Structures are given as C-alpha cells and as structure tokens.
Amino acid sequence: MRLYAGLMSKVTGKSPLVFAFGRRTDGHADMRDVLGGKGANLAEMSRIGLPVPPGFTIAAEACNHFHAHDGDLPGGLLDEVEVALAEVEEQQGRCFGDAGNPLLLSVRSGARESMPGMMDTILNLGLNDATVQALAERTSDARFAWDCYRRFLQMYGGVVLGVRASSAHLPDPFEDVLAAARRMAAVQSDGDLDAEALMQVASRFRDLIEARTGEPFPQQPQAQLWGAIRAVFRSWMNERAVLYRQRYRIPRDWGTAVTVQAMVFGNLDDASATGVAFTRDPATGEKTLYGEYLVRAQGEDVVSGARTPRPIAEMANEVPAIHRELDEVRQTLEQRLHDMQDFEFTVESGRLYVLQTRNGKRTGPAAVRIGVEMHDEGLIDRATALLKIPADAMDALLVPVFDPEALGNATQIAAGLPAGPGAASGHVVFTSDEAQRQARAGNHVILCRVETSPEDLRGMLHADGIVTTRGGVSSHAALVARQLGKVCVCGATSIRIDYAERALTVGDVVVEEGDVISVDGATGAIYAGAIASTDSEVRRVLSGRREAAGSAAFARYRTVMDWADECRRLRVRTNADTPQMARQAIEYGAEGIGLCRTEHMFFGGERIDTMRQMILAADETQRRDALAGLLPFQRQDFTALFRTMAGRPVTIRLLDPPLHEFLPADERVRHALAEKLGLSIDYIAERTRALTEENPMLGCRGCRLGILYPEITEMQARAIFEAAIAASSGADAVAVAPEIMVPLVGFAEELADQTAIVRRVAEEVMADAGREVDYSVGTMIEVPRAAITADEIARVAEFFSFGTNDLTQMTLGLSRDDMGQFFDSYVEKEIYAGNPFASLDEAGVGRLVTEAVRLGTGERPDLKLGICGEHGGDAASIDFCHRAGLDYVSCSPGRVPAARLAAAQAALRAAQTSR
C-alpha cells in the first residue's frame, strides 16, 4: 500500500505528519515550519533532482504532541512512518531489519533554525547482531561492517540510551573500551583495529549498555528507530536546548522535526569519501566551491579532527568527475535556495550523494560580499540582499585589522569563533579587578574567561579584547562585546583557563596573567605576543587615507549603505560628546547628534575643579561665580561641536548625573581641592556626605538639579545659545539649530520650569546678538511616569528622546550596576529572554514607548521622536523603533553603519508584514 501524504490526510481526515522525499517528494523548501530546516532542504534538493538518498521527515507538530501528552506519540504516526519506510525500502531495494539485505538509516533532528544542544545524528541505525553480518557479506568487508556497528552502538548508547560519563571529569565509557582494545591490539588509532578486535569492542559495548541501562541493547530495528525518534523529541526539551531557545527567543512550540534517511557509506571503499562544502568561501565571500573532504570516511571523521581533511580543490585533480558534479550541485543549490549553502556530501563507491544543505555561516565581510554579489548575479533582489546581511556585519568592515606583514610572522596558539570583529593585542587578565587595574595603568588588556556573565561587565569595559573558552557567537560575551565594540573570540575550546594559577594553557603552551597575546576577532585566531594592527581598508577610505577607486571592499560597503539609505525611514544619529566623536560618526553616515552629554565636558583639567567649586558653593552667589567660570568652556565646546556638525541637528542634554559623582573620592585629591578652593577638608567631607544618596539613580539628578539650582540651567542655556551665535557667524559660518533636551522629566511641570529658563536665556542672548537662532526644547522620556503622561508632557516638549537605559532600569526596577548577583540565575531559569539592557524589552519597556508615542503625537502630531539609549545601536531594538514610529535612532559612532542597515531591514520587514 502506497499513499501520498496528501492522500493519507484525506483518508484519515488529519494533516499528514510524515513527508517523504526521494522518488516522490511531499515537501519543499518553504516548509521549514513543518519539516525543519534540514527536512525542507532535503525535500527541495530531492524535488530538483539532486542525488539525495531517499527518506522521510516527521513534522515538528509530532514533537509538540509528544511533549504535550507526556511522551505519547500522535495517533496515526506509526502507520504513516510504516508507509514512508516501505517506500524507502522499495527505492533502495533493501529491507529495514532484513537479515539478508538490510536497509540502514540515519536519524536527525531538525528545527526551523539550527540549534545547538539538540540531538544531532544517529548513523547506521538498523544494524544488529544479524544485519551486521549481512552488511559484511554485501560489502565483502567485515572490518567495515563491524566498524559501522560499533559506531552505531556507541552513538545510540550515548545519545538515545544516555550511557555517558557520570561526571565531566571522567572519560566517556565507550572511549574507555576502545582505549583498552587499542592497548590490547597494541595500535595507536581506532582505524588500525581489525574486524576481530572491533567485533569484541561491539560485544563489550553491548555489555556496557546492558550494565548501565539494565536492559539489553535493542536488537529490533523498529525499536531502535522509535527509540531514536523519541530521543530527538526529548532533546528538544533538554537543558542546553531550552537555554538556547531562551537566549535567542525561539518559541518552545516550534518543536523539532525528525528526518529519517537511507544510509550511504563514505567509508565503504577507496572510491568512497565524505565531505563538507560551501557554495562560496565563508571567510571572504568569494564565489568558489570551498570545503574539505576525507576519502573512506563517515561524516563524523571530518568533524572529529582525528584525520586532517583535504581541501576540496584537490578533488579537481584526483576525481575530476565528482568535483564537476559538486560544482554543479553548488550552482543548482544557489539557484534554488538563493543563499550561500553549506552542504554535506558522501561518495559511495564513486557515486555522489548530497546528505543535507543549509544556509552557510559566514564572517561579516563575507556576508557583505555575498549579499552584494548575489544581487549583482541576479540571484536575489535588493531587499533580500539587505535582509541577508546581519547588521553587525558592517562593524567587521570598519574595525582595525592586524597588519598583514606582522601577521605573517606571528605564532597562532589557538582559535575560536569570531564573535566581535577587530584586532587587539594586550596583557592577559582573568578578572575584572585586574582588567581595571591594568587599564588604569595604561595597559591594553585581553580579558580571558571560561564564560562571561554580567558580573564581568566591568572587566569587559576595561578590556580591548575578550576571549572565552566556552559559548558561541551568540553567548553573553559575544553579545556584549559587539555592543561595546570590543574584539572578541568565543568558544576557544582548546584553551584551558586555571583561575587559581592565573594562567591559561593550550597544549603545552602556558600563558600567564600579564603575558601579551593578540586576538583576531575577524578570524577567531589567537596569537602569542603583540601584533601591529592597522585601520581596515574601508575605514581608510572613509577617513580619506586611501582612494576609493580600486577598493572592492569599499565599493561593497558603499553599495550596501546606499541601498540601506534608500530603504530606511529611520534617521540615524549618534551619541557624541566631542568634535572628534562627531567627526568619526559623520564619516560613518551619522545624520546628526541624538545625545550630547554635557557633563562629560566638565571633567578634565581645571574644569573639574571649577565644577567642584560650583557644587561646594555655600550659596547661590558663590555658585553663580563658579558657573561663570564654566561658561567659557561650555561655549567653546558647543561652538566646536556645531561647526563639526555643519548644520546637522544636535541634541544637547542638560546636566544629568548626581553632583556627588563630580566630587573626589580620593583623600589626597580632596586635600588638594580643599587647599585650592580655600575650603576646610571637613566642609568638603560634610558636603560630600550630604550629597550621598541611598539610591542615586532615583535621587537628585537630571532636571531636579536644574530646578533646585536654576542658575545651572541658565549657564548651560547661555553657553548653547552663545555658541550657536558664534558658530553661525563669520566666514566659516554653519547653520545651527540646537535641540535642548531636559533629562529625567516625570512631570510636565518640570519640563515647563526648565523650558521657561531656556527660552528666557535664548531671548536674552539673541537680543544681545541681534540675531535669531532656530532651536527647540524637548525631553528625555526615561522615567516611566513621563511615558504614562506623555500627552501632558507633549504640550510642552517639541521632541521626545527615549532614554531607554534608565527607562529600562526604572520600568523593570532593575539597577544595571546591581544585577550581577542574580542575573545568571535569571538566565538559567529562563526568566529574562535576554539582557534587557542590550536588547529592548518589548513587552514591558516597549509598551511604554508605544504608549508614549501614541499619547505624545495625539497631543502634538509633529512631535519629533528618537531614541538615545544604548538600544539605539541594537538591530532588534532598531526594528522595534521602526515599528513604534520613531523618527530616528541614535547610537555610538562605530554603530552608525550597522544602525543604517538595521533601519533598512526594519523597513523592509515591515513592508513584507504589511503586504
């Protein structure tokens, strides 16, 4: 009986759960939701005639049923599998479990997106004490057959039956058996064990399994199959998978599909091989068949590293026909799947099979090149190209790189995943304290950790580069490093860190705390010693130190940015406090300043002392005197900033931090200050104590300062308007339209109070100058009450800028400085979907933003809306900002290109959704 899935569903009245591929194919590439990525791609490949071993995929829905019903399988699944399996048997001319001519199977998991932590693959399923003999006879190779069997026992025993080392410190029990066999046979490698030895290993594996599970190893192939299917389902809920989903916000109800496929053997004979290929170079994006292969091997041999695979290019000479065939596969895959593919293949006795394909991982520069070139080749349209380039990829084009010459002489000691682009050399440190100490001493620092947690944030801030030995490109370290613009290599598994000894080892290389290493965030390579670095090619062109002509990298950068600028609705500004930062941001395409923090202007040199004099003033007169001393500095800073921005909008925030932050904590500095200002040390101590707060985050700062001391706001307003007059005068006059931003507003009355001061001073300065200056006054929305009463506030404010750092802290009742204690528990227990300070909490903070936009624009339709929290540089948050209807995002200068791309992607996604 043969029934198509569609027909089956008609007969039973249910949706089909099993989808065949092979001679007949039920699925296709667009069915990822049902079949998972692997299953959908196998169906597609099969459909377009690529040589795929036949098989079938069990829909993810079955997984959900399994978990919703305490491990029960959905009704009808057994029948559907039986039908599909019979089709595979027929196509292969073999019979599952037949002792004479057995069909062997592989079983794989496959969710909508590739997910670490889930069960990967069981090979050679269907072997047992009887079928192993049949395989030996058919292949005339007993060693091969017993090797397959022992591999299967080992995989099945470990993955399905849970026979593993009882502790992470102990060796795998199967490996123990193999080691004993190698000792007995006096050989070095498993490949040197003969059939007899492998037969004994298989026997011991069966004993081991029975001893550990209390049940004999299941000899019935049907039992093996269902055991494997259930193991895939179970793996969807294992700890690592749950954690991963939590981190990347993958819904639990996606479930995983299961793909069952006829085995082919890359280890059958010398005309057999197995390999992995990319349709383009994943490191550079170059359009060429790229990959590696091993003769007479199964897939795991390529991955395990026991034998060194050979570059796929060598095939062209050795087996040109296969190489040609692979190149055709490459072209067919890209034509059909419209993305760079990473595919597995096996050659069984000279015949090529493609086992699976998926979109290939790639570096940032490769992502840009592939996107642009696939577009130019007509494979994808512009929107698709833009959506395929991760916004973070733009960073990779701009960060420093190691000088190629210096790199040639460097010694690589380890490698990990490229997680934060750039190149950094520095002293190895293992703790935040040491990172801070070294950085304060003026040294460059590479922070090395097994993993990072928010408690390491301080160390990461002080580090030039970050190395972890565990975790992938989406681990905490990677996310934060990209957020902070730090070089980062993750999951450098060959490194062992010993915190107690303050040293790391790779093989026999020992690196002690204080030793210098170099880290290449673009490639993941880690080198001993310092290596000179240099600006990237794109950066050199942007800053005018290289001609654009002849730079393919720059041409691609410009293409992507041009496309992005055409697509996006959101404007991109930058958070910059100095002309230097502003200049760099403009090179990167910033269209204005979204946040200039004036307090940064009060540090350094004599300014800080004048600032301290202001804070320590006994009365308003003394305070006004000190403020008069600060005025020229501020005016000069603003003038320079206005000139640099040359007519672009500049949002200036009035003084924000609590005053005690400006006072010296250090006893020596305090004494010097007392002497300089002619104050008693006791007076300074007393004032400092009086200014110290229980919860400074919720204390006397922001507009509260300006309301308590209106003369501070007056001075700042005067500096801004006098600078605006100065910058817009003379031969090199520029257009100036400052946007003055009042921080920490919770009540419309606060904003009205400060706005009145600003407008009064503006009138005075403009009257004195006899000139008008265009300006506007608005507010940060960073106190929840401001969002809730945004209608009232919009009656006064001409613009809103969402200060999502503080808004997150207050809305979540969560101090960023104090979350280290419990953040790990929260991530472990899946309470936070991610770090709410890295990516905006849409359900909570996002609702406040949306509501504030609705209320604010309801009151004032032309209200200008922006965001200036760190979320302004995060792609997911930028997507939210687009949907929320903001006018611009503002981020650190280095994030501007990424933000431009993310803004374009947001617009494209929104257009797709609304279609």
The residues near 822 (Cβ < 8 Å, ≥ 6 apart) are none
The Cα 325–Cα 621 span in angstroms is: 86
The CB-of-592 to a copy of itself minimum distance in angstroms stands at: 27
* Whether the Cβ atoms of residue 467 and residue 447 lie closer than 8 Å to each other: yes
**∠ CA 639-644-650 to the nearest 5 degrees?**
75
- Least Å distance between CB 785 and a copy of itself? 4
CA nearest neighbour of 824 among 482, 449, 519:
449
- Rounded to 5°, angle at Cα 595 from 664 and 780: 90
SS3 382: helix
Residue 688 near residue 660, CB atoms below 8 Å: yes
Min dist CB 778 to a copy of itself, Å, is: 18
Measured N-to-C along each axis, helices 667-677 and 681-691 cross at an angle, to the nearest 10 degrees, of 120
Distance separating alpha carbons of residues 508 and 495, to the nearest angstrom: 10
Q: Is 868 helix (H, G, I), strand (E, B) or coil?
A: coil
- Minimum Å gap between C-beta 826 and a copy of itself is 7
Tokens of residue 165, six digits? 């080392």
By beta-carbon proximity to a copy of itself, the closer residue of 45 and 790 is 790
Q: Which residue lies nearer to a copy of itself by CB, 92 or 789? A: 789
Q: Residue 633 or 823: which CB sits closer to a copy of itself? A: 823
Of 201, 339, 349, the closest CA to residue 267 belongs to 349
CB of 793 to a copy of itself, least distance (A): 11
CB nearer to a copy of itself: give 158 or 844. Answer: 844
Nearest Cα residue to 798 out of 847, 759, 767, 845: 759
- Nearest Cα residue to 149 out of 209, 109, 234, 95: 209
| Shortest reach from residue 462's CB to a copy of itself, in Å | 18
Place of tokens 């010296």: 664
Look at residues 11, 76, 36, 13 and name the one whose alpha carbon lies nearest to residue 21. 36
* Nearer Cβ to a copy of itself (465/658): 658
- Please identify, using beta-carbon distances, which residue of 82 and 749 lies nearer to a copy of itself: 749
Q: The tokens 């973070």 sit on which residue?
A: 392
CB atoms within 10 A of CB 699: 15
User: Would you say 715 or 852 has its CB closer to a copy of itself?
Assistant: 852
CB 486 within 8 A of CB 519: no
Least distance to a copy of itself from the beta carbon of 402, Å? 38
Q: How far is CA 787 from the centre of its chain?
A: 30
CB 436, min distance to a copy of itself, A? 16
* Choice between 690 and 731, CB closer to a copy of itself: 690
Tokens in use for 238?
């294992």
Rounded CA gap, 215 and 21, in Å? 35
Q: How far is the CB of 843 from a copy of itself (least distance, A)?
A: 6
Cβ contact 490:471 at 8 Å: yes
Nearer to a copy of itself, 434 or 806 (CB): 806
550 contact partners, CB below 8 Å, separation of at least 6: none
Smaller CB separation from a copy of itself, 500 or 843 = 843
Best CA proximity match to 353, nearest among 38, 45, 32, 27: 45
The bridge status of strand 411-415 relative to strand 525-528 is: antiparallel
| Residue number, 720 or 786, with CB nearest to a copy of itself | 786
Catalytic residues: 476, 868
Comparing CA positions, the residue from 561, 737, 540 lying closest to residue 638 is 737
Question: What is the closest distance, in whole angstroms, from the C-beta atom of residue 816 to a copy of itself in the complex?
Answer: 9
CB of 606 to a copy of itself, least distance (A): 27
The amino acid that residue 509 corresponds to is: V
CB 866 → a copy of itself: shortest distance, Å?
Answer: 20
* CA 190 vs CA 123, 197, 220, 244, 516: distances in Å: 18, 10, 27, 34, 39
Which residues bind to a copy of itself, rule: CB under 8 A?
Answer: 691, 693-700, 704, 707-708, 744, 746-747, 749-750, 753, 782-785, 788-789, 792, 806, 809-815, 817-819, 821-822, 825-826, 829-832, 841, 843-845, 847-848
- Distance (Å, rounded) from C-alpha 372 to C-alpha 365? 11
Phi/psi at 331 (nearest 5 deg)? -65, -45
Q: Which is nearer to a copy of itself, 340 or 761 (CB)?
A: 761
User: Which of residues 373 and 841 has its CB atom nearest to a copy of itself in the complex?
Assistant: 841
Token look-up 């600003």 returns 758
CA atoms within 13 A on the CB side of 542: 24
Q: Which two tokens stand for residue 393?
A: 């990829």
Distance CA 162, CA 67 (A): 19
Three-class secondary structure of residue 467 per DSSP: strand
CB of 696 to a copy of itself, least distance (A): 7
Give the span between the Cα atoms of 318 and 551, in whole angstroms: 36
